Amino acid sequence: MRATVTTVAWPVAAVGAAARGRWPVRRAAILTLTDGDARGFGEAAPLPGFGDDDLAAATTALQRWADGDRAAPASASARFAIDTAVASLAAARAGTTLARHWGAATDPATLATAAVVDDADGARAAVAAGARALKVKLDGARDRARLVAIRAAAPTVALRADANRAWPLAEVDARLADLAGLGLAFVEEPAAGLGPTLRAPRPVPIALDESLAEPDRDAWLDGALASGAVAALVLKPTVLGGVAPVRALAARAHARGVAALLSHALEGPIAFAAAHALAAAIAPATIHGLGPHPALDAWRATAGDAAALDAATLDAAALDAALARLRVTP
């Protein structure tokens, strides 16, 4: 088996609530495994400023792994890339898909996903396109008014809000109470430090995302899951460090009747496809946070190869052609 590491980059479209203009360029390290005619791919694409992981650390870790040091790296995104590359190579050898290799009985393309919207017009368009859930990024500017308008435009679909830890911890309950009449499925990550305080239901259910990467997570997570306050865990394999941690967290959530939602970190199509495959294996009936995002739009436009975006296949020939156009010269 031959292992190679390639660094790629592509612009992020300056549109859409998911991007918010924070990452004008996305970069990733791609691990490619080749065994005869079979190939496997993995993508390490840490978000800048999100935890301790960064692209330099991920690239170094993948290169060491490719050179024969098979110890698990510290880089969470590198661990996910290795998991994906090894599994997709095994799937290619067996003539099956990554999703089925990971135990999925359904096609990842059939997964229900939430659409990120900013306003009532976006909500109506998303529902018309078949969205079964909507996610609204809160930004402090007329949040309640926007949610009221979006709920009126889409009265029958699940409505989720994401505060991205922007609320003061002391104001969480009051702010949740202000939103309690809107039928929100949950508010995701209202404030930093909230997880350890969850011991009883809150005015609106909570979803945990960034909190799951905190080093003290295991000291308080089971108590939070048992509290009745948590509706969902939002699981990002790139951030959490691969397949095993995601499966373990999903099992802990399911044991308490809490949903486990797979989500992305604005990666390219390799990690995006892997997240779909893992979602199909772990929770095929759940509405996941895996709708298309601006980084994929720009990847498609820059690479010029739509076939490489097939979420179920990780088509080797298409990816080879696309990655060649995105390669960054060391």
pLDDT in tens, 159-217: 999 999 999 999 999 999 999 999 999 999 999 999 999 999 999 999 999 999 999 99
pLDDT in the model for residue 293? 82
Distances (CA, A) of 43 to 47, 161, 244: 12, 28, 16
Q: At what angle do helices 294-303 and 269-282 cross, to 10 degrees?
A: 130
How far apart are the C-alpha atoms of 113 and 16, rounded to whole Å? 16
- What pLDDT digit, counting tens, does each position of 34-52 carry? 999 999 999 999 988 777 8
Is residue 26 over pLDDT 80?
yes
DSSP 8-state class, residue 118 = S
CA dist list (Å): 295 to 54, 56, 79, 266: 17, 20, 21, 6
pTM: predicted TM-score of the whole model, two decimal places:
0.93
Are 286 and 82 contacting, i.e. CB atoms less than 8 angstroms apart?
Answer: no
CA 103 – CA 100 distance, rounded (Å): 5
**How would you list the strands of the sheet with 2-11, edge to edge?**
2-11, 25-35, 38-44
Task: With cut-offs at 50, 70 and 90, classify the pLDDT of residue 19.
Answer: very low
Phi, then psi, of 199 in degrees rounded to 5? -130, -5
Sort strands 158-162 and 133-137 into parallel, antiparallel or unpaired.
parallel
